[in-house]
Amino acid sequence: MTMTVTTRGTAPSYLTQGRVDFPERFVWGAATASYQIEGAAKEDGRGRSIWDTFSDTPGKVFNGDNGEVACDHYHRYADDVRLMRDLGLRAYRFSVAWPRIQADGSGAPNGLGLDFYDRLVDELLDADITPYVTLYHWDLPQALEDGGGWTARDTAYRFADYAVAVHARLGDRVRSWTTLNEPWVSAFLGYGNGVHAPGRRDPGDALRAAHHLLLGHGLSAQALRSAGAEELMLVINSSLVATPAQVHDPAAAVSEADAAAVERVHSLLNRQFLDPALRGEYPAEVLATVERHAGLEHIQDGDLKTINQPIDLVGINYYNPCVVEAAPGEPADAAWPGSEDVRFATADAPKTAMGWPIVPTGLSRLLLRLSQDYPEVGLFITENGAAFDDVLTEGRVHDEDRISYLDGHLRAVHAAVEGGADVRGYLAWSLLDNFEWAEGYRRRFGLVYVDYPTQTRTPKDSALWYRDVIGRNGLAG
Ligand code: FCB
C-alpha cells in the first residue's frame, strides 16, 4: 500500500503503514562530521579549532568531554568504510577539518591533512560509496577566531581559499560539495547564546556571523564552480515552524498573533539563509533585526549578489519541529534575535533522549513548503536521526525506538515526494555514535554503537534494518 497525499503543498494527515518504494536513483547513506569522529587532534600538523578550545573550557561540554580521540576514525577509516560497505551504504557525507588543511586558517595547504581525505575518498570509491564532502561543519581554526572568527569579514575570504585548496586535491573524484553545515547553528549558538563554540553571546555578533557565513558560502560556491565542481549544496537545519496545535493539525485555527509568530521564526530560521542564497535578498523583517542589533555596514554593496550563486541542492537536517506561540512582552531568546513576543514551546509528542519531540509529519510538511517556496532547487535530506539510551547486550543493541523514528521519517519523506517535492536522497545521522557537541559522548545517534574505551563498533538493530531498506529501496509493510 502506498501513501495517499492529496495535492502538492498539503501535508498528509497521517502516515500509513505498509510498503513504500522510493524513486529510482534515490541516494541512501549516512553522515558524520570531522570533529565528532576523527580524533587525532594533534596529528599530522592539525591546528587547533574553536571546538578544541571550547571543549577545554570548564563547564562548556557535558562531563568535560572533547574530540581528542572521539571514534579514532582518523586511524580506523578503512575499517569504517568496510563497515559502511557491509551495511550497503551508497553515499557517505563527511566533513573536512579546516585546521588539518590550514593549521591557522590561511596559507599553503598542509599536504598531510589533505592526504587523509585523499585516502578516505579512494577507500570510499573502492567500496562503491559516493563521497559527499562538507567543507565546514563547525571546526573553525582557532587562529581565525582570534582575529574575530565569523564576525570578521575576512573569514569569508579565508574560507573560499580553503575550499579551493580542498577541491584542488579531491575534485577529480568528488562531485558533490557542500559549503556550510547549518549556518544558523554556527552563528546563533556559537555567537548568540554561546552554547556552541566559540561561546560568544552577543546578538550583533551572531547576526554579523550569519552574514559572513553566507558570504563565505557565496564566495566558495563561486570559486568551486569555476574550478569545475559538479554539484553544490548548502545544508541548513530546517524545521517546520508551527504552533503547538498546528504541529499535529495543520488546519488548526490560529490567532493572527500566533500566525505572525510562526512566520517570523520561519524567517529567522529558514528564510534568513535561503532567501539570500537562492534569491539574493534578506527578508525585510530579518533585515530590520540586523539593522537594530548590528547596523548594516557589514552588508556591503554586491554581497547579496555574491551570496546568490546558482546551487544544485539545499540539504535539510531535520530532527524535530520548532514550536512557537505569540507571547506579548516576552523578551527575545538569546539564540533568536528578533524573536520578541514569541514563546518557544514544545510539542505534545514522545521525545528522544535529547528531549526533541518526534513528529515525522513535520518533515513532510517542511519539504512540501520548501519545494513550493523554492522550486528552483532540489532537496536532499542530509541529516535525520535520533539519540536514545542504547544498551549493548551480548553483542546486540535492540534499538526499536530508533527504527521506528527512522521508519516514520522515511515515510514522511516519501509522502513529500509523492506530493511533488523533489527530494533526491536521505542520509541518516549518524553512521557512528560520536561526540555530540555540548552533550559530549552521552548522546548516541549512531546506527553503529561505539564502545569508546575499546573503540569496538557494533551495528545496532537499526543499522541492519537500514541495510534492508537500502536493499529494497523502500520500506517493507
Ligand atoms: C546537527 C549537527 C550534527 C549533529 C546533529 C545531532 O545539528 O549538524 O553534527 O550533532 O545535529
325 is catalytic: no
Q: So what's the pLDDT on residue 385?
A: 98
Question: 180-197 burial by CB neighbour count: b if 16+ within 10 A, else e?
Answer: bbbbbbbbbbbbbbbbbb
Domain count, the chain: 1
DSSP one-letter code for 360: H
Encode pLDDT of 93-104 as tens digits. Answer: 999 999 999 999
Residue 384 to residue 189: CA distance in whole angstroms: 20
What is the residue with the minimal CA distance to atom 7 of ligand 1? Answer: 237
Average pLDDT, 10 consecutive residues per value, the chain (477 residues) = 34 67 98 99 98 98 98 99 98 99 98 98 99 99 99 99 98 98 98 98 98 99 98 98 95 96 98 98 98 98 98 98 98 98 96 97 97 98 98 97 98 97 98 98 98 98 98 95
Q: Could you tell me which of 312, 303, 289 has the C-alpha nearest to residue 225?
A: 312
Angstrom distances, CA of residue 76 to CA of 82, 90, 434: 10, 19, 14
Q: So what's the pLDDT on residue 133?
A: 99
Domain extent at residue 19:
2-475
**Contacts for 243 with CB less than 8 Å, ≥ 6 apart:** 252, 254, 258, 261, 262, 323, 324, 325
HSE value, Cβ hemisphere, 13 Å, CA-based, for 64: 2
Q: So what's the pLDDT on residue 477?
A: 79
- Using the mean position of ligand 1's atoms as its centre, give its distance from the Cα of residue 421 in Å: 24
Residue 245 to residue 274: CA distance in whole angstroms: 26
Q: So what's the pLDDT on residue 246?
A: 96
Determine if ligand 1 sits within 6 Å of the CB of residue 318.
no
DSSP bridge partners of 313? 233, 378
Q: So what's the pLDDT on residue 12?
A: 45
Encode pLDDT of 237-246 as tens digits. Answer: 999 999 999 9
What is the residue with the minimal CA distance to atom 4 of ligand 1? Answer: 436
HSE value, Cβ hemisphere, 13 Å, CA-based, for 97: 35
Q: Could you tell me which of 226, 256, 257, 259 has the C-alpha nearest to residue 242?
A: 259
Q: So what's the pLDDT on residue 10?
A: 40
Q: So what's the pLDDT on residue 323?
A: 98
Q: So what's the pLDDT on residue 462?
A: 98
- Using the mean position of ligand 1's atoms as its centre, give its distance from the Cα of residue 134 in Å: 13
Determine if ligand 1 sits within 6 Å of the CB of residue 388.
no
Angstrom distances, CA of residue 151 to CA of 205, 213, 219, 299, 456: 6, 9, 16, 12, 40
Supply the DSSP string of 182-222, one letter for each residue: -HHIIIIITTTS-SSTT----HHHHHHHHHHHHHHHHHHHH
Cβ contact 358:350 at 8 Å: yes
Residue 453 to residue 475: CA distance in whole angstroms: 35
pTM of the model: 0.96
Query: Can you tell me which atom of ligand 1 is nearest the CA of 387?
Result: 6
Query: Can you tell me which atom of ligand 1 is nearest the CA of 385?
Result: 6
145, 383, 418, 436: the catalytic one is 383
Supply the DSSP string of 164-183, one letter for each residue: HHHHHHHTTT--EEEEEE-H
Determine if ligand 1 sits within 6 Å of the CB of residue 26.
no
Determine if ligand 1 sits within 6 Å of the CB of residue 33.
yes
| Cell numbers representing residue 310 in the block | 546558482
- Using the mean position of ligand 1's atoms as its centre, give its distance from the Cα of residue 32 in Å: 9
383 is catalytic: yes
Say how many C-beta atoms besides its own lie within 10 A of residue 225's C-beta.
16
Encode pLDDT of 428-453 as tens digits. Answer: 999 999 999 999 999 999 999 999 99
Q: So what's the pLDDT on residue 16?
A: 66
Domain with residue 390: its CATH number is 3.20.20.80
Helices then strands (H, E): number in the chain? 17, 15
